Amino acid sequence: MARFQRYKLAYVYAALEPHIDGKTMEIHSEKHHQAYGDKLNAALEGTKWVEKELHEILMSLDKVPENIRATVRNNGGGLFNHNHYFSILSPDSEKAPVGQLAEDINLTFGSFDTFKEEFSNAGINQFGSGWSWLATDENGENLHVHGHPNQDNPLMHNHIPVLGMDVWEHAYYLNYQNKRPDYVASWWNIVDWNKVEEIYQAALQKKVMSY
Ligand code: MN3
């Protein structure tokens, strides 16, 4: 069995319709996500890095040998980001943050709506492919929103990821074609806020949720 594995969905591919169609989910998970894992495993095979957790590798990319660093950044980032993404989506969304995260989003951004706007805009305005992320700093403090290109994520800046939205076209093109803002608006209907709160509780303890 390969060292690094993709997270398998806890629901059927069509479960998120009409917000994301089943065919997009299937291709996204079985082709794109699978390929990131395959390429990461191939790059790290026979190195000491297979003994590390994925998030530890992404937090120390500067120590990864230069000849495989870009491959590990792109595909390790891709594997982690999609493990996160597929684990925080659900057909049974609470539609709004819960627990400590709900309180801290209000404290930091003023309201859930203000946060949603900032997070959505970071995704909509990301030039080319990338992600919108809510993260804490390395101490589990200072919630902030940041857009990242390609498969980069907060770990590469020593921050702790809390919530990530994929804005690559492969995440939405079958339903939405070029209309990224429509996908972003619909995406809020399928966020599993109980799961995001679990990730945030770990972040408060300076821990990265592993998969
Ligand atoms: Mn993707």
Q: Which residues on neighbouring strands pair with residue 164, listed in sequence order?
A: 133
Domain limits of the chain?
21-87, 99-204
**Best CA proximity match to 172, nearest among 186, 161, 189:** 186
- The arrangement of strands across the sheet holding 160-166 comes to 144-149, 130-136, 160-166
pLDDT at 1: 84
CA distance 105 to 14: 30
CA of 107 to the centre of ligand 1 (A): 31
CA of 177 to the centre of ligand 1 (A): 15
CA of 79 to the centre of ligand 1 (A): 9
CA of 166 to the centre of ligand 1 (A): 6
CA of 32 to the centre of ligand 1 (A): 7
Q: Which CATH superfamily is domain 21-87 in?
A: Fe,Mn superoxide dismutase (SOD) domain (1.10.287.990)
CA of 62 to the centre of ligand 1 (A): 24
pTM: 0.97
pLDDT at 17: 98
Give 99-204's CATH code, choosing from 1.10.3720.10, 3.55.40.20, 3.40.50.720, 3.40.47.10: 3.55.40.20
CA of 130 to the centre of ligand 1 (A): 9
pLDDT at 191: 98
Token output for 200: 């945030």
CA of 16 to the centre of ligand 1 (A): 15
**DSSP per-residue letters across the chain:** --SS-PPPPSS-GGGGTTTS-HHHHHHIIIIIIHHHHHHHHHHHTTSGGGGS-HHHHHTTGGGS-HHHHHHHHHHHHHHHHHHHHHHSB-SS--SS--HHHHHHHHHHHSSHHHHHHHHHHHHHT-SSSEEEEEEE-TTS---EEEEEETT--GGGGT-EEEEEEE-SGGGTHHHHTT-HHHHHHHHGGGB-HHHHHHHHHHHHTT-PPP-
Q: What is the chain's pLDDT, residue by residue, as a tens digit (211 residues)?
A: 899 999 999 899 999 999 999 999 999 999 999 999 999 999 999 999 999 999 999 999 999 999 999 999 999 999 999 999 999 999 999 999 999 999 999 999 999 999 999 999 999 999 999 999 999 999 999 999 999 999 999 999 999 999 999 999 999 999 999 999 999 999 999 999 999 999 999 999 999 987 6
